[in-house]
Amino acid sequence: MGKVVTWDDLKELREGWKRERKIVVFTNGVFDILHRGHCEYLERARAQGDVLVVGLNADDSVRRIKGEKKPIVPEEDRAFILTRLRSVDVVCLFHEDTPERLIANVLPDVLVKGADYKPAEIVGRETVERNGGKVVTIPLTPNKSSTGIIETILERYCAEGAKRYTT
């Protein structure tokens, strides 16, 4: 199982992986309401190398970029769940709006983002490529998203369901 690590721990781990000649893959995201699309994405990311590091937006970061109603699941729980996935080796929280500084700290061999990003839009791309790494985009699983799950819950339970649960 993976574990949640600090930035300092991650830097130390990275040095060890470099000595062991392991290919380090980095991706990041919010990973709110974990679903099949997240799992498939992380498995595909992990397949790009030997170690998968997930940069996880902390709650304050999520609120700034996605609005005050998110995340639904708190950072401690999102991190815990991610570390239980076989594909994830370590999770590291970041509080900034982007993972730019965390990527510079890790200097992964492979930076992965979803194919909904154009390569020029990928934060950290220049840093990774300048250090000899590569950037890979992975197709997303169609019709699988946290937003879709939230919409389904609201459609099914908001109007009539609210009455059922309050009476």
First CA to last CA distance, the chain: 43
Architecture of the domain made up of 3-141 = 3-Layer(aba) Sandwich (3.40)
- In the DSSP assignment, the letter for residue 121 is G
Spans of all domains in the chain: 3-141
Distance from C-alpha of 17 to C-alpha of 153, rounded to nearest angstrom: 42
pTM: 0.92
13 to 10, 38, 167: CA distances (angstroms):
5, 24, 53
52 forms beta bridges with 25
For 139, which DSSP code? P
Per-residue pLDDT of the chain (167 residues; tens, 9 = 90+): 679 999 999 999 999 999 999 999 999 999 999 999 999 999 999 999 999 999 999 999 999 999 999 999 999 999 999 999 999 999 999 999 999 999 999 999 999 999 999 999 999 999 999 999 999 999 999 899 888 898 888 888 886 655 554 44
